[in-house]
Structure 1
């Protein structure tokens, strides 16, 4: 996961938190739910990126063993 992806996910999470807070403050349940959904999406993207990074590390480790490094 690159720095740009990290920043995008963090921004999406913060946007979701702001929507949720605004929805709670104004009694707008739809806005509150939309904010929660944004946060969930950001968290899911982060988890997927973490798994992808672990897979890449595993592939690199296998390559190193096969090449004798």
Structure 2
């Protein structure tokens, strides 16, 4: 997955997790609340992976540009 797709999937998991938690809380279902918290955490990690991929790409592109400029 690329950085953009990781970020998008992460945000989607965070949103779905928040909804699950809210619904679980509203109906008194602890299992749904826990599932929502886990899904939200998974989304945060996935978004962070996407952010790190973007940073790594930027660093690589900057280094490559500097090397090519010197050639």
TM over 0.5: yes
Bigger relative contact order, structure 1 or 2 (CA pairs below 8 A, ≥6 apart): 2
Unaligned runs of 5+ in 2: none
Q: How many corresponding residue pairs?
A: 68
Alpha-carbon distance in 1 for matches of 2:55, 2:16 = 28
Q: Give TM-score, length-normalised by structure 1.
A: 0.84
Q: Whole-Å Cα distance in 2 between the matches of residues 7 and 51 of structure 1?
A: 14
**Which segments of 5 or more consecutive residues in structure 1 lack a partner in the other structure?**
none
Runs of at least 4 residues off by over 2 Å:
4-11
What are the within-5 Å matches in structure 2 for residues 1-69 of structure 1? 1-2=3-4, 4-68=5-69
